[in-house]
Structure 1
Amino acid sequence: MLLQIYVAMKAMPWYCALPSVSEYMVENGWTKCFASICDVGWFAYIMSLIAYFVVVEFGIYWMHRELHDIKPLYKYLHATHHIYNKQNTLSPFAGLAFHPLDGILQAVPHVIALFIIPTHFRSHVALLFLEAIWTANIHDCIHGKIWPIMGAGYHTIHHTSYRHNYGHYTIWMDWMLGTLRDPEEDVFEKVK
């Protein structure tokens, strides 16, 4: 756990780089961000928030999957995070224990979404903050069983199998692309 804390703290300044750059782009008007919900109305805000989630889910699923499938990316970046590959080596600190470039690459879909989807800037910042909480949560090995949320049960399988459950906040992308492995079924298979 001390190693996880050390790796996470060493990478933390780099994790701050992407939000800083994205805020600079927003401030200069390069994105589709809007400052107030009143600028677009509640219906458009909710629709854009849903679209933002879809783009981020899609982007992070593929980024995470490619970090596994492209061998040099795995070897030099993502393997740093996957040394925690057993349930007893995972902890909330493992959620931030990434190579800095790996952490940035997995956050890039949030920034890409700013260029395609009209996005409320404070909602974007709040979702980045919630991402840090979420990533700690999915590494704590306490499966909340709230379908279709990608909980710790699903993500623990990801750390032990390497080929399943690449998703972000939900299991939708894994379900649609055949990489989902359900923790309930996994337990049943082990009992057989």
Structure 2
Amino acid sequence: MAEQHLQAFLDDTSFYNRIVLGHLLPSAWWQPLPHVLQTWLRNYIAATLLYFISGLLWCIYIYYWKRNVYVPKDAIPTKKAILLQIYVAMKAMPWYSALPTLSEYMIESGWTKCYSTISDFGLPLYLVQLAAYLVICEFGIYWVHRELHDIKPLYKYLHATHHVYNKQNTLSPFAGLAFHPLDGILQAVPHVIALFVVPTHFRSHIALLFFEAIWTANIHDCIHAKIWPVMGAGYHTIHHTTYRHNYGHYTIWMDWMLGTLRDPVDDSYGKEM
């Protein structure tokens, strides 16, 4: 039974590999590779495509289609600034891709509490477990992010790479993954730690890891959606200007509980920066 359980994970990851690699690369380029390298290559290609597609569409929407609606003309980042963000992100992307590859390897090996189908626990319990998974991620990412600021060597050698984008006209959706590789990995590690703490649906874990690329693009676009309790771009823009507030990831709850929350005053807040 245990072997069938683990085989289901392997079947899933092999299917994902075939979907991505089989449609984009000649078979001779990837089929001879060991399974773990196929998985890394699939994650690298998928993450890169997601980064460029989500970032490009979002930039077209806010800087051209809705020009001067969400962001004033003088707050639009230059092409040079955006290209630099892309350069930093692409240098880190091979390393970012190693984390989901490692998590999939550990899941396939039976080291985690992952399960393959929602019917294993039923929908109500799945939703409770998903909520617990997200709480662990929120807690973990908050503290990793905060310590990347509080521990001076970590800030100097890792997190400062990201904080050169410190005002509205240097932030863009492409800044979302512009980190030192180790910094980006550390902030995503809570997604993996959660697998050892709470039973987690495998496909939901993979989807949430890749959702990070979309989410980080969103919170670096300087548009504050004002959806409580979401840690939207208005909050995150404040983080990039004060460096001491709004460390949270998806929500404002951790910052609210620990006294590091700073609310955007109004729509003109970003312009006043």
The TM-score by the shorter chain falls in which range? over 0.9
The separation in 1 between residues aligned to 2:142 and 2:249, in whole angstroms, is 6
The separation in 1 between residues aligned to 2:231 and 2:249, in whole angstroms, is 7
What is aligned with 2:117? 36
Tell me whether 1:180 sits opposite 2:267 in the alignment. no
SS in 2 for 1:150: coil
What is aligned with 1:75? 156
Letter in 2 for 1:177: L
Tell me whether 1:160 sits opposite 2:205 in the alignment. no
The separation in 2 between residues aligned to 1:186 and 1:140, in whole angstroms, is 14
Tell me whether 1:147 sits opposite 2:241 in the alignment. no
Superposition pairs of residues 53-68 of structure 1, within 5 angstroms: 53-68=134-149
Match among 147, 151, 167 for residue 86 of structure 1: 167
TM-score normalised by L of structure 2: 0.68
Change (3 A) 1:101 1:31: same
Report how far residue 163 of structure 1 moved.
Answer: 0.1
What is aligned with 2:91? 10
The separation in 2 between residues aligned to 1:165 and 1:101, in whole angstroms, is 21
Match among 153, 162, 187 for residue 106 of structure 1: 187
Letter in 1 for 2:239: H
SS in 2 for 1:184: coil
Report how far residue 143 of structure 1 moved.
Answer: 1.0
The separation in 2 between residues aligned to 1:184 and 1:47, in whole angstroms, is 34
Change (3 A) 1:144 1:186: closer
Report how far residue 185 of structure 1 moved.
Answer: 6.3
Letter in 1 for 2:193: I
Report how far residue 55 of structure 1 moved.
Answer: 0.4
SS in 2 for 1:159: helix
Letter in 1 for 2:245: H
5+ unaligned residues in a row in structure 2: which ranges?
Answer: 1-81
Please report the RMSD computed on the Cα atoms of aligned residues, expressed in angstroms: 1.5
Number of equivalenced pairs? 190
The separation in 2 between residues aligned to 1:159 and 1:28, in whole angstroms, is 40
Report how far residue 131 of structure 1 moved.
Answer: 1.1
The separation in 2 between residues aligned to 1:186 and 1:99, in whole angstroms, is 31
Superposition pairs of residues 124-143 of structure 1, within 5 angstroms: 124-143=205-224
Report how far residue 187 of structure 1 moved.
Answer: 5.5
SS in 2 for 1:60: helix
Match among 131, 134, 140 for residue 50 of structure 1: 131
TM-score normalised by L of structure 1: 0.96
Report how far residue 184 of structure 1 moved.
Answer: 2.3
5+ unaligned residues in a row in structure 1: which ranges?
Answer: none
Letter in 1 for 2:264: P
Query: Alignment identity in percent?
Result: 82
Cα deviations by residue, 1:83-138 (Å, 9 ceiling, x for unpaired): 00011100011101000000000000000000001000100111111111000000
Tell me if the contact between 2:225 and 2:232 (Cα under 8 Å) persists in the aligned partners. yes
